[in-house]
Chains A and B, each alone.
Chain A
Amino acid sequence: MKIKKYLLALLLSSSAFLMTGSLGAEEMPVADEEAAVSIVTSADAALAGGDEFAADYLALLEAQGEYAYAFDFFTVSMLWTVIAAALVFVMHLGFATLEAGLTQQKNTVNILFKNVFIISIGIISYAIIGFNTHYPGDFNGWISFGSMIGDLNADGGNTFGYGGVGLAMTGYGDFIFQAMFAATAATIVSGAVAERVKLGSFMIFATLLVAIAYPVVGSWHWGGGWLGGLNGGNGFKDFAGSAVVHAFGGFAALACVMLLGPRTGKYVDGKIKPILGHSMPLATIGVFLLFLGWFGFNGGSVLSADPTSVGLVFTTTALAACGGALASILISWFFLKKPDLSMALNGFLAGLVGITANADIVSPMGSIIIGFIAGVIVVFSIIFFDKIKIDDPVGAISVHGVCGIWGILACALFDVTDSGFTIVGQLTGVLAVGAAAFLFSIIVFGLLKLTIGIRVSPEEEAEGLDICEHGQEAYPDFASSSR
């Protein structure tokens, strides 16, 4: 009885609210024109009246100098940028849990440890060398090593003048958002080489990859480098990094796996023997966190809170992810006889990588198709790499490398803005990025292989890296004697 009364009250109050809402809407046009004028005059009046808050606000406006007119848009955009940066940070938790889930229990500490190291070295190296290498300003278009970041608030770096409408954030906002991206490339490699790579060698490789290779290759596109001349001068299209982040990481991973060889016991007498991941719940948590983080990865790449783009990018990102998962579910069900959860999870990621290059220039329908095709590609790609004995425990090469290429090509195929992106131009760009990542990795990881070695001993691999490299277990047995 009580509940019914409560519901009735709720219904009455909400309908009353709706009535007043619609009345308000009718009155709006009349008040609209006067509103703009009245804000300014009321601020002045408040100031004249000695309102100290008005003075504070006007002082903030004044600090923006000639850019005061854009102060509110700038503030909202800057806030969105740092929220997006935090979302991209969450992706690192997603990678950590996904990689841990899809590998064996005995290597869990090792996987998590690598993820802790990568985010740490990634952000610090980005401050020391990465940011100014990635965005060198005027340079030869190929390579220019930068130095440690200075005070990014100086010289108008804290005003709308830093980047205008196209990059509506402060220098520090720009830095932290980009820094979160940087570590992603090395994390992609971490999953592919899991369960047999020597920790020290991986740490050296990851450091060089994230500190040098990533920003140098990234500068070709986002830093105003030579990729801008592609597509007949229309510029290379890679919105949030299908090529310069994902394909880059995927091809680096491919090189490393080729040098490293498959896990012991994966291929016996020419047959594939699956090595099962130890926790599908962890893997699922990881993928959902990556999906969440991707809203920051793509949504933040609008580089402002531009209402036209942010909503579109969120929508295309989500649609492509769901299209990818559905395609992987269908393909694995029909071709592999079973609806495979790990494939469905990879389908989400495939769709997300596919839409990353083009999220701001495609239609909702286009994004579904892009995601769907990515979801089909990823299943066959994973099976293909398995067949040719490229042992990638988490499917990173297929998800990031292969679907990264697809995302770049989709810019030319699904563009609804008529920006003149061509298949040839797009392919040239992504292959250049992929080849650079592959070559850098072959050379650096190859040198490590020749010197300190890149693989643990067969005994250590059998025992598990947790005990051998770290002397720890992820899930120590319950010791009844201690209770």
Chain B
Amino acid sequence: MKLVKAVIKPFKLEEVKEALADIGIEGMTVTEVKGFGRQKGHTEIYRGSEYTVDFLPKVMVEIVVDDADTEKTTEAIVKAAKTGKIGDGKVFVIPVESATRIRTDETGPEAL
């Protein structure tokens, strides 16, 4: 099993969710996060003084998938979240040791 962790632009969440549903992904965890990469921040103005906003709002989507589904999951996210402009985000894939469904005690890929 793999944990697919994607940091995306907040307004792309709906499209990413639909793309994942289309390939049969049945669940995900979403967190509102802040951060920056090469995009860096931007300047804003408040009562006559400029200031830089370094941390921009992003959404982090976490999905645990069977090894076989890893590639198509990543592809679906990348395709749906892409705008082609700087700041689109990143997708990470991390190995997962175990998974357990609390209600039924199922473990492994059945628990996903």
CA distance A338 to B46 in the complex (A): 9
Asked if A473 is at the interface of the complex by the 8 Å CB criterion, the answer is no
Q: State whether the Cβ of A250 lies closer than 8 Å to any Cβ in chain B.
A: no
**CB of B47 within 8 A of chain A?**
yes
Residues of A within 8 A of B45 (CB): 336-338, 340
B45: nearest residue on chain A (CB-CB)? A338
- Check B49 against A382 for contact (C-beta < 8 Å): no
Q: Does A367 contact B (CB under 8 A)?
A: no
Interchain CA distance A379-B51 in the complex, whole Å: 18
From residue B43, how far is it (CB to closest CB) to chain A in Å?
10
**Listed residue (B45, B48, B49, B51) with the most chain A CB atoms within 10 angstroms of its CB:** B48
Q: How many A-B residue pairs have CB under 8 A?
A: 30
Verify A340–B49 contact, CB threshold 8 A: no
* A178 close to chain B: CB less than 8 A: no
In whole angstroms, what is the CA distance A272 to B51 when docked?
9
Taking CB atoms and an 8 Å cut-off, the chain A residues in 377-408 that contact chain B are: 379, 382-383, 386, 395
**Pairwise interchain contact B51-A383, C-beta atoms closer than 8 A:** no
**Chain A: number of interface residues, binned into ranges:** 10 to 19
Which of chain A's residues have a CB closer than 8 A to the CB of B49?
272-274, 386
The answer to whether A332 and B46 have CB atoms under 8 Å apart is no
- Chain B proximity of A378: nearest CB distance (Å): 11
Looking at A272, A332, A379, A386, the one whose CB has the most chain B CB atoms below 10 A away is A272
Indicate with 1 or 0, residue by residue over B33-64, a CB within 8 angstroms of chain A CB atoms: 00000000000011111010000000000000
**Residue numbers in A under 8 Å from B47 (CB-CB):** 274, 340, 342-343, 382, 386, 395
**B45 → chain A, closest Cβ, in Å?**
5
Q: Is the CB of B48 within 8 A of A273?
A: no
Instruction: Give the complex CA separation of A140 and B51 in angstroms.
Output: 54
Give bound CA distance, A276 to B48, whole Å: 12
Closest-CB distance, A333 to chain B (whole angstroms):
11
Name the residue of chain A whose CB is nearest to the CB of B48. Answer: A383
CA distance A343 to B47 in the complex (A): 6
Cα separation A383 to B49 with both chains bound (whole Å): 8
- The complex places the Cα of A338 from the Cα of B49 at a distance, in Å, of 11
Closest partner residue, chain A, to B47 (CB atom): A342
Within 8 A of B (CB), among A360-385: 379, 382-383
Determine whether the beta carbon of A379 is less than 8 Å from that of B46: no
Q: Contact check, A336 vs B48: say whether CB atoms are below 8 A apart.
A: yes
Q: Which residue of the partner chain B has the closest CB to A383? A: B48
A276 CA to B45 CA in the complex, in Å? 10
A270 to B106, CA, bound (A): 61
**A336 to B45 alpha-carbon distance, docked (Å):** 8
Which residue of the partner chain B has the closest CB to A273? B51
B51 to chain A, nearest CB (A): 5
Return the chain B residue nearest A395 by Cβ: B47
| Smallest CB separation, B93 vs chain A (Å) | 29
A343 CA to B48 CA, complexed, in Å: 9
Which A271-291 residues have a C-beta within 8 angstroms of B?
A: 272-274, 276-277
Residue of B nearest to A275 (CB): B46
Per the bound structure, the CA–CA distance linking A383 and B46 in Å amounts to 11
Closest to B51 in A: A274
Cα separation A276 to B51 with both chains bound (whole Å): 10
Closest to A271 in B: B49
Instruction: Give min CB distance, B63 to chain A, whole Å.
Output: 22
Q: How far is the CB of B66 from chain A (nearest CB, A)?
A: 30
Report chain B residues within 8 Å CB of A386: 47-49
**A336 CA to B48 CA, complexed, in Å:** 6
A351 vs B11: C-alpha distance when bound (angstroms):
40
Looking across the interface, which residue of chain B has its beta carbon closest to that of A335? B48
CB distance from B94 to the nearest CB of A (A): 26
Chain A residues within an 8 Å CB radius of B48: 332, 336, 340, 343, 379, 382-383, 386
Chain B's nearest CB lies how many Å from the CB of A284? 15
Q: Which of A335-357 contact B (CB under 8 A)?
A: 336-338, 340, 342-343
List chain A residues, Cβ under 8 A from B51: 273-274
Please name all residues of chain A whose beta carbon is closer than 8 Å to the beta carbon of B46 when the two chains form the complex: 274, 276-277, 340, 342
Closest beta carbon of chain B to A281's beta carbon, Å: 16
List 7 tightest A-B contacts by C-beta distance, closest first.
Answer: A274-B46, A274-B49, A272-B49, A383-B48, A338-B45, A336-B48, A274-B51
19 contacts between A and B (CB under 8 A): A272-B49, A273-B49, A273-B51, A274-B46, A274-B47, A274-B49, A276-B46, A336-B45, A336-B48, A337-B45, A338-B45, A340-B46, A340-B48, A342-B46, A342-B47, A343-B47, A382-B47, A383-B48, A386-B49
Q: Which residues of A contact B (CB under 8 A)?
A: 272-274, 276-277, 332, 336-338, 340, 342-343, 379, 382-383, 386, 395
Besides A332-B48, A379-B48, 8 more A-B contacts (Cβ < 8 Å) are A274-B46, A274-B47, A274-B49, A274-B51, A338-B45, A342-B47, A382-B47, A382-B48
